[in-house]
Amino acid sequence: MILPHAEEVELRRGSSPGTITSTTGRVNRVAVATSSEENQQAVSQDRREGRDGAVKCPTTSASPGPSSKKDCFQATAAHSRCPLSAPRRAAYEFHDMFGFLVTEAEKAAEDYERRNNGYSRAYLDKWQYMITHWASVKQDTLKRYCRRGVPQPKRRTVWQHLLQSWGMKDRCPGEYMRLHSQPLDSNDLADVIARDLDRTFPTNRLFSMKSGQGQQMLCRILHAYANYNPGVGYCQGMGFLAATLILQVEEEEDVFWAFVAVMENTKYNMKAVFAPSFPHLQCAFHVFEALMRQKMPKLYAHLHDRHPIPPCFYAVHWFMTVFTYYFNFGLVSRIWDMFLCEGWKPVYRIALALLKIEERRLLSLNTDTELLLALKGIQESKRPVELLKTALKIRFKSAYVNQLMDEYHAQPR
């Protein structure tokens, strides 16, 4: 389900845009009332402190040391995903259906959407039929329905089927308990995991309480995975993937095996995104630039030739967290419906769609500073329906993506 964009709701009321923390916890541009002097002071303070959602690019061309690998998000996460400051918290008195703090207008928009634009009974029945007959469902049919969106009541089951993690806890009894009970190889690693818990979805009621149920569950899952794959261990950013699965899959051991699937299955291969030197992240940048050159040649020339601004300056969080860092969680869930069904292809489509929507504006900017600021905030204030429609209109073959990946891996290092 995609909710009406909260900014539209507020602008209809005559409010002016301001900078506030959005539903997933980072600072974003949406509309807020500006009559409160306290809110204005809080906004100014956040701007002075740098809470603008900007992302610093980690050095992906060299293999990072132990601390830099674990702290690749640290420079911005503490600011851009900080909990709401006290003067502004009063505006966030409601929780959306996923447990994120929202304004009254955002809650009203969600309630309206659920009453008037929910999935039909026939659509729900079709999904139930596919779940019951999962082994015989054709991939094209599944892909078509995942692009339309998995109904929220079905996501817990559907995501596990897509990940092929359904029933893993029964096939590996006791394994999860053993992994999260086993000490980590490094005390430093345990400290890094613990330190990052507060930074993951801080405005969600499940994760907002220090040492609360959500944080403890997240800690155990990340701890267990670090023991499951010591070669990857833990890197900042993993928590957003695991927390997304917690909110949808819910049962802890099921979440762990779903997380293992996201990290280990070659279809997603997120472990290679977080491995030392970030090999798959660099490969994703290569594929993304090649697709940009093919689909938006003028913009590619603008960003690559006239103003050399590589994707690592603005797209790190897109790929490392599969967009969980930036968007309304309803939109995140829709993106993940496609990601879990198709792999990386829809991730590239969403990334390209962000540029496509802003292509004309980006081409009009003539300095590196202007372009960097625009690119770092390009995901802000995007209407979910428009973004998804634009993404699905961007066509390219999976075989071409595989060819680009092969080209990247064939390059001498």
Indicate the residue among 243, 265, 287 that finishes a domain: 265
Q: Are residues 302 and 405 in the same domain?
A: yes
Q: Is residue 224 part of a domain?
A: yes
Spatial distance between the Cα atoms of 403 and 270, rounded to a whole number of angstroms: 19
Residue 82 lies in a domain: no
- Measured distance CA(262)–CA(278) in Å, rounded: 16
Tell me which amino acid residue 338 is.
M
pTM higher than the cut 0.95: no
Does one domain contain both 253 and 315?
A: no
In a domain? residue 89:
no
Instruction: Tell me the C-alpha to C-alpha distance, in Å, between residue 155 and each of 4, 87, 160.
Output: 21, 36, 8
Whole-angstrom Cα distance, residue 175 to residue 169? 8
> What is the DSSP secondary structure assignment for residue 302, as one 8-state letter?
I
Q: What gap in Å lies between CA 69 and CA 21, rounded to an integer?
A: 27
Residue 304 is classified by DSSP as I
Residues 406 and 283 in one domain: yes
Q: Residues with Cβ < 8 Å from 359, sequence gap 6 or more?
A: 296, 298, 299
Domain boundary among 265, 300, 322: 265
- In this structure, is residue 258 part of a structural domain? yes
Domain for residue 66, yes or no?
no
Kindly state whether residue 31 falls inside one of the protein's structural domains.
no
SS3 helix, strand, coil % of the chain, rounded to 5?
60, 5, 35
Whether 171 is covered by a domain: the verdict is yes
Q: Tell me the pLDDT tens digit for each residue of 357-405.
A: 999 999 999 999 999 999 999 988 888 999 999 999 999 999 999 999 9
| Count of structural domains, the chain | 3
Same domain, 184 and 251: yes
Q: Please tell me whether residues 162 and 194 are part of one structural domain.
A: yes
Quote the Cα angle for 66-69-71, to 5°.
Answer: 105
In a domain, 238, yes or no: yes
Residue 238 belongs to a domain with what CATH number?
A: 1.10.8.270
**Residue 246: both structure tokens together:** 């917690």
In tens digits, the chain (413 residues) has pLDDT values of 443 333 333 322 333 333 223 445 443 333 333 333 443 344 334 333 433 333 344 444 333 333 444 444 444 333 334 444 444 444 778 999 999 998 888 888 888 888 887 888 999 999 999 999 999 999 999 999 999 999 999 999 999 999 999 989 999 999 999 999 999 988 899 999 999 999 999 999 999 999 899 999 999 999 999 999 999 999 999 999 999 999 999 999 999 999 999 999 999 999 999 998 899 999 999 999 999 999 999 999 999 989 999 999 999 999 999 999 888 899 999 999 999 999 999 999 999 999 999 999 999 999 999 999 999 999 888 889 999 999 999 999 999 999 999 999 998 87
Are the C-beta atoms of 297 and 305 separated by less than 8 Å?
Answer: no
Residues 250 and 369 in one domain: no
Record the tokens describing residue 80, joined without a space. Answer: 């851009």
Same domain, 120 and 183: no
DSSP 3-state assignment of 31? strand
- The structure tokens listed for 412 are 């001498």
The 10s digit of each residue's pLDDT in 339-350 is: 999 999 999 999
Closest by Cα among 84, 79, 7 to 38: 84
32 forms bridges with which residues in the sheet?
16
311: CATH: 1.10.472.80
337 and 405 share one domain? yes
Question: Does residue 380 sit in the same domain as residue 323?
Answer: yes
Of the candidates 108, 112, 120, the one whose C-alpha atom is nearest the C-alpha of residue 151 is 120
199 with 215, same domain: the answer is: yes
For residue 294, the Cα-to-chain-centroid distance in whole angstroms is 25
Name the domain boundary from 240, 265, 290: 265
CA angle centred on 298, ends 296 and 301, rounded to 5°: 105
The answer to whether residues 319 and 389 belong to one domain is: yes
Range of the domain at 321: 279-410
Do 339 and 356 have their domain in common? yes
